[in-house]
């Protein structure tokens, strides 16, 4: 097995090594593979979580030989690894890498792949178990799945398992998602399909369920009686960089909401599952998605805000607007920002709005969920120096600093009654040490172990697209007349602030650690 060096992922964190298998990566010559997948698999190897009988087969159009691909992987791992690469671990790892060159549309590629899989089974003892990872452009998803099925590579017999991992986006609207699901079902059983969302590989996302259901002090108040509203912010400081061609076909709504953000919302809003078995968790997530109030043509504008960034300043540097980015149309209507007000029609959340926002070129990189509670009655403090009571908050920080904080009020020391905000903060790095990861380690490991809990089921994908499809239709029918409507380095368009302001609320600034200090200074005597 791999060397004994310390690793980013440990056996204690996950469990024992996975069983024998070959991981086939379609799109092995792309950025996702070299920047994230190979480093993540190496971390599993260094953490002794890969089986002794393991192999990787890279599949791509680039004309590499196996030896050339191994040499390229060795160069890449030293550039993109999340920790120091140990020679003993890498030497074990790189000997298990193979390569098959070809066009994804060409049936001959899959004949060649079958031969290569036979070679890995003979040389590495992988026992015929295969994990096919589609790290390709979305246009190739149905092509590869159909070809794998036609070649008989997805058939499971003699207790040999075959699984397929599909990267997001899973479709670009509701009809395409339904069509892709249909194609996948023709070649695979649902239990063979792992629709991956790397956000669910983050520890804090996974910790949402533990935080809610393993602590008796939180779940009793996690409902409409005590919660005023919920905010989800996924802010990116980067622009589209060199991905303008892709982003023009996607935009913020398609790119982030049906997958990343809805996953966060379902984990925060779902009922307790009867177990942590995949179907039990997915059933409860699916119920939340189906309970979201549908958007009408009118609410697609009153409850949804779109934005596109113009030029601005970030960290003291001038940056270009979206329409000036490479491969972006000069009059582009693609939104780089979206804010929504969602309402979940069930017993737990009726009347509690869920506000979400996501955008590029924001003031800071931040992903957080804010549970803001209702204010208590003020009557007790009427004849004191307290002017108003601040709402309590639970803030779940997903990135860049993973952790959870609880904001509440305490009395400021002194002879008069004044209140100050207190912040109780937990950070993963303080309690469990720093474990830099790519975000894919747990997910890849779960795929090998056959645990689909952190992946999307077909009905969840279609339910997510059902929510956003009316917004896509309305925005396509009525072009935005004010793009660009927010400057790079800001927190988005004014319409997003108005979305909350008309409900008497405001967005929480993700850069502020503590709750606002409402009454830290003396107020006029109101006794």
Q: 11-200: CATH homologous superfamily?
A: NAD(P)-binding Rossmann-like Domain (3.40.50.720)
Question: Is a pLDDT exceeding 70 seen at residue 521?
Answer: no
Per-residue confidence (pLDDT) for residue 513, from 0 to 100 = 67
Q: What are the tens digits of pLDDT across the range 234-244? A: 999 999 888 88
When the pLDDT of each residue in the chain is averaged and rounded to a whole number, the result is: 90
Question: Is a pLDDT exceeding 90 seen at residue 408?
Answer: no
Q: Which residues, 6+ apart, have CB-to-CB distance to 299 below 8 Å?
A: none
Q: What b-and-e string marks burial along 62-91, b requiring 16 or more CB atoms within 10 Å of the CB?
A: eebebeebbebbeeebeebbbbebbeebbe
Write the CATH number of the domain with boundaries 206-370+457-501: 3.30.360.10
Would you state the structure tokens that stand for residue 291, as one six-digit string? 């309970």
Rounded Cα gap, residues 333 and 337, in angstroms: 12
Neighbouring C-beta atoms of residue 49, cutoff 10 Å: 27
411 to 144, 419, 422: CA distances (angstroms): 63, 5, 10
CA torsion sign, 158 to 164 to 165 to 171? negative
Beta strands in 94-156 (DSSP E): 97-101, 130-134
The answer to whether the CB of 48 falls within 8 A of the CB of 2 is yes
Q: What are the tens digits of pLDDT across the range 370-393? A: 999 998 876 677 777 777 788 899
Rounded Cα gap, residues 281 and 290, in angstroms: 15
Would you state the structure tokens that stand for residue 366, as one six-digit string? 């931040």
Looking at 53, 172, 198, 260, which residue is catalytic? 260
**Paired sense of beta strands 366-373 and 393-399, if any:** antiparallel
Threshold 0.95, pTM exceeds: no
* Domain positions in the chain: 11-200, 206-370+457-501
Per-residue confidence (pLDDT) for residue 383, from 0 to 100 = 73
Q: What are the tens digits of pLDDT across the range 425-449? A: 888 777 766 666 888 999 999 999 9
Q: Which residues, 6+ apart, have CB-to-CB distance to 393 below 8 Å?
A: 370, 371, 372, 373, 405, 406, 407, 508, 515
How is the chain split among helix, strand and coil, in percent rounded to 5? 40, 20, 40
Question: Is a pLDDT exceeding 90 seen at residue 3?
Answer: no
Q: What are the tens digits of pLDDT across the range 497-507? A: 999 999 999 99
Q: What are the tens digits of pLDDT across the range 454-485? A: 999 999 999 999 999 999 999 999 999 999 99
Rounded Cα gap, residues 441 and 515, in angstroms: 34
Residues 101, 107, 112: CA angle, nearest 5 degrees: 45
Rounded Cα gap, residues 340 and 231, in angstroms: 10
Q: What are the tens digits of pLDDT across the range 284-332? A: 999 999 999 999 999 999 999 999 999 999 999 999 999 999 999 999 9
Tell me the average pLDDT across 23-40.
95
260 is an active site residue: yes
Rounded Cα gap, residues 29 and 64, in angstroms: 9
What is the DSSP code (8-state) at residue 133? E
Per-residue confidence (pLDDT) for residue 75, from 0 to 100 = 95
Per-residue confidence (pLDDT) for residue 396, from 0 to 100 = 92
Better-scored residue on pLDDT, 409 or 221? 221
First to last CA, the chain: 73
Residue with tokens 């390709």: 136
Q: What are the tens digits of pLDDT across the range 63-119? A: 999 999 999 999 999 999 988 888 889 999 999 999 999 999 999 999 999 999 999
**Paired sense of beta strands 309-310 and 130-134, if any:** unpaired
The answer to whether the CB of 332 falls within 8 A of the CB of 323 is yes
Percent of the chain at pLDDT exceeding 70: 92
Q: Which of 395, 314, 396 is nearest to 360 (CA)?
A: 314
The answer to whether the CB of 218 falls within 8 A of the CB of 365 is no
Per-residue confidence (pLDDT) for residue 433, from 0 to 100 = 63
pLDDT band, very low/low/confident/very high, at 8 (cuts 50, 70, 90): very low
Per-residue confidence (pLDDT) for residue 523, from 0 to 100 = 36
């Amino acid at each position: 097995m791999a060397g004994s060096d310390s690793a980013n992922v440990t056996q204690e964190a996950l469990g024992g090594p996975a069983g024998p298998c070959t991981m086939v990566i379609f799109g092995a010559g792309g950025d996702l593979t070299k920047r994230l997948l190979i480093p993540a698999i190496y971390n599993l190897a260094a953490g002794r979580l890969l089986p002794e009988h393991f192999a990787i087969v890279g599949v791509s159009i680039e004309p590499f030989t196996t030896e050339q691909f191994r040499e390229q992987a060795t160069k890449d791992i030293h550039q993109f690894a999340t920790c120091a690469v140990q020679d003993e671990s890498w030497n074990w790892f790189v000997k298990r890498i193979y390569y098959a060159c070809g066009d994804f549309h060409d049936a001959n590629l899959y004949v060649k792949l079958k031969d290569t899989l036979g070679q890995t089974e003979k040389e590495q003892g992988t026992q015929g178990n295969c994990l096919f990872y589609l790290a390709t452009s979305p246009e190739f998803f149905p092509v590869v799945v159909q070809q794998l099925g036609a070649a008989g590579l997805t058939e499971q017999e003699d207790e040999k398992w075959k699984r397929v991992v599909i990267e997001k986006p899973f479709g670009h609207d509701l009809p395409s998602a339904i069509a892709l699901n249909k194609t996948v079902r023709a070649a695979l059983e649902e239990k063979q399909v792992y629709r991956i969302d790397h956000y669910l590989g983050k520890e804090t996302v996974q910790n949402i369920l533990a935080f809610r259901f393993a602590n008796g002090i939180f779940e009793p108040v996690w409902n409409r009686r005590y919660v005023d509203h919920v905010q989800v912010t996924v802010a990116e400081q980067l622009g589209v960089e060199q991905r303008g061609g892709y982003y023009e076909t996607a935009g913020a709504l398609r790119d982030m909401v049906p997958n990343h953000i809805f996953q966060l919302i379902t984990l925060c809003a779902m009922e307790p599952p009867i177990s942590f078995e995949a179907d039990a968790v997915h059933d409860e997530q699916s119920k939340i998605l189906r309970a979201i109030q549908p958007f009408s043509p009118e609410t697609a504008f009153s409850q949804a805000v779109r934005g596109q960034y113009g030029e601005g300043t970030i960290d003291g540097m001038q940056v270009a607007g979206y329409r000036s980015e490479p491969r972006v149309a000069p009059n582009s209507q693609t939104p780089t920002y979206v804010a929504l007000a969602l309402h979940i029609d069930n017993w737990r959340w009726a009347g509690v709005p869920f506000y979400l926002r996501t955008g590029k070129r924001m003031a800071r990189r931040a992903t957080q969920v804010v549970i803001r509670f209702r204010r208590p009655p003020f009557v007790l403090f009427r004849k004191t120096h307290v002017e108003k009571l601040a709402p309590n908050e639970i803030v779940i920080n997903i990135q860049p600093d993973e952790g959870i904080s609880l904001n509440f009020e305490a009395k400021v020391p002194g002879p008069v009654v004044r209140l100050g905000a207190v912040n109780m903060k937990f950070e993963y790095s303080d309690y469990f040490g720093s474990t830099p990861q790519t975000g894919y380690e747990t997910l890849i490991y779960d795929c090998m172990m056959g645990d689909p809990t952190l992946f999307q089921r077909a009905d969840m994908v279609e339910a997510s697209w059902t929510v956003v499809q009316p917004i896509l239709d309305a925005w396509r029918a009525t072009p935005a007349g004010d793009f660009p409507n927010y400057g790079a380095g800001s927190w988005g368009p004014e319409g997003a602030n108005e979305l909350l302001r008309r409900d008497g609320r405001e967005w929480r600034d993700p850069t502020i650690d503590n709750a606002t200090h409402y009454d830290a200074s003396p107020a006029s005597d109101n006794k």
